[in-house]
Chains A and B, each alone.
Chain A
């Protein structure tokens, strides 16, 4: 059946019940007549004819089939029309390539950027974790005065023996390991874990097995499990590694297992694991807190029940070991939530910003489509005149926008595919699971949803516009075919107003981040970072377990570095500023009870010459500060204030690092130095103290893992690097030197996160601004084109240039100003989300918001002014003749 015929039958269609009834009545009538002709009594004939319809059963069956028939026709009609619309839309696209390319690129950029960011959000935040049943894996914290902290071995063991709500309770301590086999020695990050650590996550090894309980004992723990990362990077993914022996910290370890890549995605940075194998002495230590603990809760308990049990056990612990655990409690948190932590907000803010930009992009395309529809008003009027209904025209316009959105989506996926690797490369280190971001099924489904949403955004206003018919004559009457009568400029004004509001929000966010980045850059770190280089080494326990040997080794390295060309000053520090934090100790001043948690620096006397932070009072260390002489200490101003208030700290005594509660080990404060920003400019100064390296107790060498930073100052970074490498090589060619960074580099790393967010946000804001400017420009340009004749008349009647410019550009600027006002309010609400990312600037900083609005206004005014100015070049006589 042809479409024309079907349309006709649709037009004449009667309700199915009526159709069936009428048809059967006609049938009965004819049958009755036939029976009468055969000589049957009319009354009886009628009854007989009726009987053949089986009491209405036939009627019911026909009604049902007829209904199905109508449905299938409707479906076919719909598909036919869709095909027509698609063909038409495609033709439109091809006949106006300029328009199509502009629209597709605009949408492609928006969809592509949103897709790329979404794939990151999906990988980092939304995707379920690779381990089994992530909802039952918790991180356990040892709480001290309401602060979350790590576990001591003794406390962990105490809990391990008592926690019944945990199916598995495991611990690990992240540690650096010297890895040596046949290749270059290398420093890797590894985990010393309890034997059930891998079992807890439920990820089976790719090769071999996980640890056995008996391997988690001193002396029997010379086994190692490799991560997929290390296995691929260092051992060429060779399955034969299983069973082989590699040297870790100079001792042979058998490879018993190789984990799959999923293990690398659980937030664990370890490249290899060895059993932690607590010694009996360690198991009796309740006061050194360095373990991270994990819980797999048993099936039928809730997180709150686990928490309650842990708090109860902590109360018992405080009774059994009151000295150190009086103020301790315990807490648990879902591990996935903990790792994603702050990134959730940061990433969702980015996603929100990029979505706003996509909406702005849609606004531009909607604007283009409105303008194009205006040129097609005749066609639309004719369509309406020959009977196309409103729904039909809406569908046709929406199909056009859908075709554009689909093309834009294809471009967008290409853009996302191309930009995602760059995004991952640019991103700061340490974003969990970022490297797993990819254009997978979920992300592509999201992209498709974006395409559909964009099609709707783009098409809805134009579609509505297209149905706002006046009379046919009005549309056809205008010889130019312009819809001056029906296309109201307010619709396009509404669009640019909305764009202005959205841009205001994104731009304000970007401006706040930029200002906060500038603040960061300008914040002094408290010392002269230029020419300072640090590098780190760690001495393995097998050879340097004896503190005297470690001391001697470091003395040798330091002397060699000091004597090298290019090195002005050199020193050792257990943790150099800006390149990563280390240990801290609780200490208390004489006559006070409060413990002050302070960052420890074990340094050689030359340290203050290298770092060159200002000495506020007293002296620095000298070579004579050795274990046999008076115990001395240098503290920073923050610690001095915390311990002694406004009184002078010099000569006062502080206990730390040795002894313990009840038997203080006093050290005399001989100097106070200015605060420096050890953790980078964004972090406030904390209490810090310095001890002479040669005066620290032997046990402290174990705390530090015999790992120290070499810090040098000089003019030539390359020469200093060589000096350090050579000095270490002289000592032991198998010792790796790691984290060779200048202070500038350390600073850059610390600020990488802020820089990345600022960069992305600025890019988004710039894109949004350009798009909005283009939107405003096109609206004014269109308006000028519409009103050429009117402007010509006005100028012929003596209107000045200024009057014309003002009149025309006001059309664009009025909605922009209204939009700005709304956007301003929106920005005040939205920038709150940035709170955690801002440094020394409030999320509602009025200066920034006002400046942003002014910039936007200037850009908008320029975009409106250009076509308005062009309007004044209209020659009145030409305009009137047209």
Chain B
């Protein structure tokens, strides 16, 4: 049985962002939109959560940022996955699968 640290759920946003970037470099707005669409608008991301998460992950070395040109023709920061980010994504995805399966079992079981 794995153990889940207190900020496990908090870490899911990070994991979603990492997942977003497996499709290639994107800027912050695109990342937010993708998550909203992928979850069928189940999650509406606030800028106050998304961007700090991006900066924190860049600091930890999971993401790498570069200036590029966006669809508006303006300078924009594009994020891409680093090797450490890929590893983090893999390990957190596995943990999440185990966690959600366990929670599902409990919720579906008759009392």
Contact = CB atoms under 8 A, between A and B. Distances in A.
A204 to B, nearest CB: 52
B109 interface: no
A389 B27 CA distance: 34
A520 B1 CA distance: 88
A23 interface: yes
A5 B82 CA distance: 12
B61 interface: yes
B48 A30 contact: no
Interface stretch (B7-15, B64-72, B87-95, B98-106): B64-72
B77 interface: yes
Interface string A69-93: 1001000000000000000000000
Contacts of B58: 69
Interface string B25-60: 001110000000000000000111001100110110
A65 B59 contact: yes
Contacts of B29: 26-27, 30-31
A52 to B, nearest CB: 5
Given A26-B27, A72-B59, A57 B75 contact: no
B48 A58 contact: yes
A543 interface: no
A61 interface: yes
B59 A58 contact: no
B3 to A, nearest CB: 28
A10 to B, nearest CB: 13
B16 interface: no
Nearest to B84: A1
Given A1-B64, A52-B46, A61-B48, A30 B72 contact: yes
Contacts of A130: none
Contacts of A23: 27-28, 51, 76-77
Contacts of B47: 24, 27, 52-54, 58
A69 B72 contact: no
A12 B75 CA distance: 13
Contacts of B75: 22, 26
Contacts of B66: 9
Contacts of B70: 26, 30
Contact of B77 (A19, A30, A31, A69): A19
A203 interface: no
Given A1-B64, A1-B82, A12-B67, A65 B55 contact: yes
Interface string A27-71: 101110000000000000000000011100110011001101100
B74 A57 contact: no
Contacts of A57: 48
A26 B51 contact: no
Contacts of A53: 47-48
Contacts of B56: 65
Contacts of A66: 55
Contacts, number: 65
Given A26-B27, A52-B46, A68 B59 contact: yes
Contact of A54 (B48, B55, B67): B48
Contacts of B61: 1
Nearest to A61: B52
A30 B59 CA distance: 25
B64 A27 contact: no
The residue in A22, A65, A66, A72 that gathers the most chain B C-beta atoms within 10 A of its C-beta is A65
A58 B64 contact: no
B68 to A, nearest CB: 11
A248 B40 CA distance: 102
B36 to A, nearest CB: 11
A24 B32 CA distance: 13
Contact of B55 (A1, A27, A69): A69
B67 A69 contact: no
B77 A58 contact: no
B28 A27 contact: yes
B31 to A, nearest CB: 10
A62 B72 contact: no
A62 B82 contact: no
Interface string A1-21: 100010001001000000100
Contact of B74 (A5, A19, A29): A29
The residue in A19, A30, A52, A62 that gathers the most chain B C-beta atoms within 10 A of its C-beta is A30
A27 B33 CA distance: 11
A254 B75 CA distance: 95
Contacts of B67: 12
A581 B61 CA distance: 79
A24 B51 contact: yes
A563 to B, nearest CB: 98
Given A53-B47, A58-B47, A26 B72 contact: yes
A652 to B, nearest CB: 100
Nearest to A29: B72
A26 B46 contact: no
Nearest to B67: A12
B62 to A, nearest CB: 11
A25 to B, nearest CB: 9
A609 B67 CA distance: 107
B55 A26 contact: no
A294 B84 CA distance: 71
Nearest to A76: B61
A27 B65 CA distance: 15
Nearest to A69: B59
A400 B97 CA distance: 53
B55 to A, nearest CB: 4
Contacts of A12: 67
A619 B74 CA distance: 121
A5 B51 CA distance: 23
A19 B51 CA distance: 12
Nearest to B64: A1
Contacts of A52: 46-48
B55 A62 contact: yes
Contacts of B48: 52-54, 57-58, 61
A66 B58 CA distance: 9
Nearest to B82: A1
A737 B55 CA distance: 87
A62 B76 contact: no
A710 B110 CA distance: 113
B82 A26 contact: no
20 contacts: A1-B64, A9-B65, A22-B75, A23-B51, A23-B76, A24-B51, A26-B75, A27-B27, A27-B28, A29-B74, A30-B70, A31-B29, A53-B48, A54-B47, A57-B48, A58-B48, A58-B52, A62-B55, A65-B52, A72-B59
Interface of A: 1, 5, 9, 12, 19, 22-24, 26-27, 29-31, 52-54, 57-58, 61-62, 65-66, 68-69, 72
7 closest cross-chain pairs (CB), A and B: A69-B59, A65-B55, A30-B29, A26-B76, A23-B77, A27-B29, A58-B48
Interface of B: 27-29, 46-48, 51-52, 55-56, 58-59, 61, 64-67, 70, 72, 74-77, 82
Given A23-B76, A62-B51, 4 more contacts: A9-B66, A27-B28, A53-B47, A65-B59
